[in-house]
Structures are given as C-alpha cells and as structure tokens.
Structure 1
C-alpha cells in the first residue's frame, strides 16, 4: 500500500512536470496551418506498421535517442555532409536505428499537403506514439510545435545517450541531465518490452564480464540459465555483431509488463536493465506496476513519454522546418 501511495505521488509529479516542460508546445499546433497533419501521420502508420512490425520499437528508440541529444529536434535524422561520418546517426548507439525511410515517406506526403509547415521533429514524436498505440500500447499526449535543428554531431550522441553498460548511478545522472527523474528512468526503460538487440551490445555479459574471457566469465547478475540459453541459441561467439535477440523474449512485439517481470528474474539483456533492481526505490516502482492493474504501467509510461518529448525543444523562430528530414535547408 505504501508503495502504491508513493507511485501515485510520483505519477502526479510526472504530470505536473510534463505540463510545465511542454508549455512552449500546444496540442493541435497544426489545426489551422495543416489541419490534416496528424491524421496523415496516423493513417500512414496504420497502413504500414502491419507490414513492418519492427517499426514501433525502432521509432520510439529513435525518438528517445533524438531527444537526449540537443533535445527533440530531429537532429538524429540528419545525414553527415562532405563525405564525413560525423553526424549523430553515425555514432555507435545509432548504427542500428532503422525507420529513417519511414519518416522520410511521411514527410514527403506532408510536404505535398502543406509545404514547409510540419517539422520532422513533430513527425517523429507523433509517429512513435501512433505506432506504439497501434500495437496495443498506451496513447499519450503529443503537444506539437517543435522545430528542427540544423546541427548533428556524432560525439554528442556518444556523450549523451545512456549506454547499455551503465550502472544505476550513471543511468540516473544521464536522465537527470535531461530534467528526467528516477521514475522516468524506470518507466521509459519499459519501452524495452518491444524490440530487439544485437549481440555485441550485451555479449560481454555472456563471455567476458571481468576480462578473463569464456562462458565461465558471465555477469553474475544475469540468470545463469538465461545466459546459457543466449549462448546456445543466439550469441554463439563473443564476437558476434550481427545476431539479434528479443529484448522481451516471448512477447517482444507486445507492449506489456513482461519486460519488468524478466528484469525481476535477472533476465534483462543489458547491464542497464539489470541495474534497475539494484536501487531500492526503482525496484519498488517496478514491483508496484507488476503487481498493480494493467492500466497503471500505461499511465505512468505515457506521463514519462510526454516529459521526454518536451526535452529542450526548439520553438518559435529557433531552428527551421526542414524540407527533407535528412538535410538542412539551403538558404
């Protein structure tokens, strides 16, 4: 009961903080300038996600990675110029991002409908929400009015995106740097209930945790039977960079609580997943949603997504409205 009271307080704080943070954004921002914008995005998502079931996971991950670097300004969508590989999308954490073409196609449709009006940053935020909701996940408010950034730097992605090897202290500091709190860390980690990961992002936990090497050098915080299954069926060598594993085995296409249940059983893929139960308050929040009504997780996740989408947004005369999401406009 005490945990539930604490969570209600946290949820209230999320809503209040989200409301304050998104003051520069408004719902229905395009109601006059491009009244069909949000419908066009939703319709495209509904038509194409059934044929690309991995899109919801990649879009929400892309949105998260975008917001953690220079705020939610679609800088992660920009290509490097001059033959260099120095944009955000060229950084190691972003090399496995997909869905850039998906966003580009939505942008092209909107440019025909309302040229130069709808930002790539808003398209990404809305498409991430709509795709997650389409597969049965929560729906959350997406106030709009974001403008697109014109700078994308590889090193900034490396410096700001939380690594899968982070411990709890590092994770919390990374989130606090973006005005997110412990509760946001716990709830946004819940996005790992969908999607996949490449072996090289967690194989050290299977083969070389302390540096000695071999299957006997597995991370002791990882369930040994799960580790053995991963070595046998997925990451069969320490150097496998291509094989993928489900973040939430058994329901990686379903937005549910199984990710948290796996973490509690020491079956989270990343060290950062395992880190969540090394902190008493974070573990208490996880236990509360796992043992609570199903709609509770959806509610708190939605609140944290609103806060995420408001990080350091550009509005008004800041930035620009890109004509092509991968390129800055020519002036």
Structure 2
C-alpha cells in the first residue's frame, strides 16, 4: 500500500480498501482471532481520516466474540464503540468483564465509565432503552429523564427508544404515543438529547405511522434509529426502501446496519411481515441492501452519528466465526465510507 495516502490525509484508494477486506477474511479464517486484530489495526491505519462516521455495534453482540472483556471484544471486532443497553436502574449490563457492573446512575458511576472508555479508546454512541410506554407511562417519563441526564453528562448523542403498543390496541396507540413523547421531550428539554425511535415490529415500520407521530409531537429532538433491515423485514419491496430511507434521513439520529438476502424473485414483492427472516438474514456484506446508496443518502442529509452494526445471526456462529463476520462487516462499512469521501 502507498502510505502517502495516509500521510497527506487523502482518501484511501478503493482497491487498497478492497484488498484489506479480502485479506481480513483470509487471515481470520486461517489463523483465528489474533490476526483479526492485526488486520483491523492495519485497515484503520490505512484509512487515515477518510471516514464520515464511527463504526460501532450493538453491545449485545460483544460476548459472541468469546473475549473475556467487553473492551477486548470491541478491539477484536475493530469497532469504535457501541450502542449500550441500559436498564431501569441505569446499569449497562453488556459492558462486561470488570470487577463490578458499569452504571450511569451517579456522577461517580459516570466518571468511572468515562475513565474506562477513555482508557480503551472507545465511545458509546447511543443508549438503548427497552421502553414499555403504555404499561408504565409515569415511570417511563422519569426513566427517560434520568437516561437523558446521563447521556448529556457523558456526551452520548442519542437515545434509542421503543415505541411499541403492548397494552393499548394498535389502532388506538398513536394519540397515546404522541402524548407521552411530548412529555418526555418536555421533561428532557435542558439536556438537548435526541430520542431516536427504532423502526421495528408491526407499528413503527409503517412510514405513515412515523410521519403522523413526528407531526403530532412536533419536536426536532425526536427522530429515528434507522434500522435498514427492519423496513425490509416488514415487507417493503427492495427498491422502495431507498425512498423510505431518503424520506426519513433528516430525522435519523442513530442507525442499525442490518440486511437480508432474499431470493431474487421475492425482493420486489410486498411480502408478509417477517417472511422467512430466520432463513435469509445475513451479514450486511452478503445482503440485498446497497449500503453505498444508504450511506450516500445519510451523507446528503448531514447525518452525524455512527454506523451501528446489528447482526442477529451471531448466535448460530462459533466465537471465531462471529469475530470474523463482524470484522468483515466493519471493513465493509469503512470501505463504503471511503468511496464517499
């Protein structure tokens, strides 16, 4: 590789990036987890400043690497950080391997986490809340407020939230969801933190529902965790996905990068919700979704957070296979970014 690209902060040549991606796959398969780290380090060094966004992953994926420590797992995967699950009591259960669990419930807890992140050279790009809005509305507003305060203190730019009907019938859920989210936005105004609804399930994968909800709440701090695969899972035809991504791109505060590899004859159909997902979901570099096109849409909309990998097939892989797969997904997203710079 011509290292002058790096010294002069020029975009890395696409052929070099592709070569590193191929080397990553071959080296990992031949020699196990340690070469993954070496190749990822070389890949990141070669890339220099030719990036737009950090590449992260769901922290729920870390244990699948087989690493004894969450920071080790992040290094093994080659990610810049994670989206971190957060519990009702503000514990971060998937940042594992330390003497005691990480929490953000107090200033001392946050200082401890901040120090660990700085030492590891990693970041948290979103907190992931698993909300039950219609089951415990008063608690949810209070919980969102506490998480937003912690996010503000730690510099976490977004909070991924669930907006899912659990108790209220779906046809009656929109006015309730709008009312409680207005309360959440009002209660967290001083923090400035942005809340990012994930499109998933049978409700928020419907663009009409999302449009109506955003309109009723009327806040620029309410947006989307764009899950690229979930809109496809819902049944939207492949070519229609990019229209949806473009429509919501100005409201995207966080992402889940995910894909599916459907048979060619099924891609442009309106399929039943969730059709054959367990059979066809796959790493993003093997799927139908054109991530070069997705990233171009995000860039045009001035997106400013991370590219967060959510691979839901890791449970059927060995630790070595999981490390190889996620590392290849990271390399893939870095290559796609380099093509845009």
TM range (shorter): under 0.3
> Given the two structures, how large is their TM-score scaled by the length of structure 1?
0.25
